[in-house]
Amino acid sequence: MAGQKRAADLGIRIGSLAPGPRNRITDVGGVRVGHRSVVGPTHRTGVTAVLPSRDHVFAAKLPAAAWVLNGYGKTLGLVQVAELGNLESPILLTNTLNVGLVHDALVEHALRECAASGIPLRSFNPVVAECNDAGLNDISQRVIGQSEVFAAIADAGEDFEEGGVGAGTGMTCHQLKGGIGSASRVMELEGGPYTLGVLVLSNHGLLRDLRIRGLEVGREIAARLVAREEADRGSIIAVIATDLPVSDRQLGRICRRASVGMARAGSYIGQGSGEIVIAFSTANAERSAQGGDFRQVRVLAEERLDLPFRAAAEATEEAILNSLIAADRVALADGRVRECLREQLDEGMLERIRATGSGS
């Protein structure tokens, strides 16, 4: 990952807020990300785990919300997140037909963790999101099972790869190689700074619609690549983490601002796309051992939300861009190819991108 290029490495800045030290979702304290990629003769897929805190999240549930911009998708676990406003599971990302097995693996993982901690587990709400990698993967095989999920969780750390890795292994974004991308923003508020980070699994969009800092570079690349235009059947999942003390309702409001970043990067929200955003805060964890009839929580004043809103929009746009820039070209034996954005951005385009908005 040290060697991976990202938008900032190419001199591309998105928005006005400063990124965190890693410019990744793991700038939010306690958040870790791990991958397991599975590549074989007929499949090219994987799984990515977002661990929301150092704590056992079942025992210290976090305020959470989800938002469905377009629901042609199979994300699991959102009913309970909406009702209770919390998250009690890691968030796993994988391919569309594999969500059932990943769900079951999360159950097994939670049973073991709870057994080890002496916590009885009768009910558990795994959150599993997906995009469809059938363009590069024989999705019918469902090769992501318990060992792959456990490996992704075990792999979780603060540094992690982006692009065609983990759940991103087989994903296609704007008809180029896509996958995992991340970015973060720092927010100055009382007792801060606070951080908001985004991780996306990008698998949506047409090449001609791709934009970088507003420039329609996708049209230029499309003219060169003569890519066959396909229906936009992809999806994008965005996971937002923050250490800002916000309520579940406020997290729901934050989710909606991810759509700003998606639109700016080129999405038209295709009808066949699952565009889903899940957000959690690491503040105000709800510990089962707490007891008592009431809990004290600290929440952001509503009129301060413009700051995390902007952070969510900017970090989502940059995360999508990073998912494309970090990805490598894929060429399969059967002739299927996904070009990568990094190789398509010539120096002239990069100069124009860097110059835009500077007013010169």
Which residues, numbered 291-350, are part of the site for a second copy (CB under 8 A)? 292-306, 309-310, 313
**Per CB under 8 A, which region of 24-32, 154-162, 210-218, 330-338 contacts a second copy?**
210-218
* Residues 215 to 274 in contact with a second copy, rule: CB under 8 A: 215-216, 219-220, 223, 231-233, 245, 247-249, 253, 256-257, 259-264, 267-272, 274
Of 191, 228, 289, 335, which one interacts with a second copy (CB under 8 A)?
191
Please report whether residue 69 would count as binding a second copy according to CB under 8 A. Answer: yes
**Residue 100 tokens, joined:** 């059932």
Q: Residue 256's closest CA among 235, 277, 237?
A: 277
Nearer Cβ to a second copy (178/245) = 245
Measured distance CA(323)–CA(177) in Å, rounded: 8
* Residue 108 among the catalytic residues: no
Q: What backbone torsions phi and psi does residue 61 show, to the nearest 5 degrees? A: -65, 145
Instruction: Check if the beta carbon of residue 301 is closer than 8 Å to that of residue 313.
Output: no
Least CB distance from residue 286 to a second copy, whole Å?
A: 8
Q: What backbone torsions phi and psi does residue 102 show, to the nearest 5 degrees? A: -70, -40
**Residue 321 tokens, joined:** 């861009």
Nearer Cβ to a second copy (4/305) = 305
Nearer Cβ to a second copy (161/285) = 285
The three-point CA angle 67-14-90 to 5° equals 40
Least CB distance from residue 358 to a second copy, whole Å?
A: 8
Least CB distance from residue 154 to a second copy, whole Å?
A: 20
* Residue 235 among the catalytic residues: yes
Question: Which among 89, 273, 281, 323 is annotated as catalytic?
Answer: 273
Nearer Cβ to a second copy (31/217) = 217
Of 5, 13, 30, 104, which one interacts with a second copy (CB under 8 A)?
104
Least CB distance from residue 102 to a second copy, whole Å?
A: 7
Residue 63: cis peptide before it, omega within 30 degrees of 0: no
Question: Which among 161, 275, 314, 317 is annotated as catalytic?
Answer: 275
Residues contacting residue 169 through CB under 8 Å, at least 6 positions apart: 37, 38, 39, 44, 45, 46, 133, 136, 137, 179
Place of tokens 């377009």: 70
Measured distance CA(164)–CA(173) in Å, rounded: 11
* Residue 275 among the catalytic residues: yes
Nearer Cβ to a second copy (106/330) = 106
Q: Residue 312's closest CA among 252, 240, 236?
A: 240
Indicate the residue type of 158.
Answer: E
Of 10, 39, 59, 134, which one interacts with a second copy (CB under 8 A)?
134
Least CB distance from residue 339 to a second copy, whole Å?
A: 17
Indicate the residue type of 49.
Answer: A
Please report whether residue 99 would count as binding a second copy according to CB under 8 A. Answer: yes
Catalytic residues: 235, 273, 275
